[in-house]
């Protein structure tokens, strides 16, 4: 399997790019009841709000997720099926998308 590539953009409620937003991409595997981390990567959005991860996900990984370290007083939404949806915790990347390129856009809205 090749690298898993995640790309996307983070914008505000007015669709303006948000620079410097910290994004985490991490994975875990199960061992009994306890999750065990298999990898963790962090990046920041550029001046256009864009981000990219390219990661060879370890074979033992059963779950990979992406989350934003949102600024105080903001809520995170993710873009899917033509609409933004509130993201309550993290976005879990389906296992069948490991080794593929996925584009995932986010919007941060003031509370």
Q: What whole-number distance in Å separates Cα of residue 95 and Cα of residue 19?
A: 29
Q: With a cut of 90, say whether residue 97 has pLDDT above it.
A: yes
> What is the average per-residue pLDDT within 58-66?
95
- Residue 32: per-residue pLDDT: 82
Residue 80, phi then psi, degrees to nearest 5: -155, 145
Annotate the chain with three-state secondary structure: CCCEEEEEEEEECCCCECCCCEEEEEEEEEECCEEEEEEEEEEECCCCCEEEEEECCCCCCCEEEEEEECCCCEEEEEEECCEEEECCCCEEECHHHCCCEEECCEEEEEC
Residues above pLDDT 70, as percent of the chain: 100
For position 88, which CATH number holds?
2.60.40.1120
Q: What percent of the chain has pLDDT over 90?
A: 83
Domain hosting 37: range is 4-110
Cα(28)–Cα(57) distance, integer angstroms: 10
Q: How many domains does the chain have?
A: 1
> Within 13 Å, how many C-alpha atoms sit on residue 15's CB side?
3
**Rounded Cα–Cα distance for residues 41 and 2 (Å):** 17
pLDDT averaged over the chain? 94
């Amino acid at each position: 399997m090749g690298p898993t590539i995640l790309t996307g953009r983070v914008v505000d409620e007015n669709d303006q790019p948000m620079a410097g937003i910290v994004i985490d991409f991490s994975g875990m595997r199960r061992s009994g009841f306890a999750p065990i981390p298999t990898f963790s990567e962090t990046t920041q959005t550029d001046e256009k709000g864009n981000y990219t991860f390219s990661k060879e996900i370890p074979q033992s990984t059963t779950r990979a997720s992406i989350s934003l370290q949102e600024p105080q007083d903001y809520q995170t939404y993710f873009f899917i099926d033509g609409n933004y949806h509130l993201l309550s915790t993290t976005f879990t990347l389906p296992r069948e998308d490991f080794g593929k390129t996925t584009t995932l856009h986010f919007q941060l809205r003031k509370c």
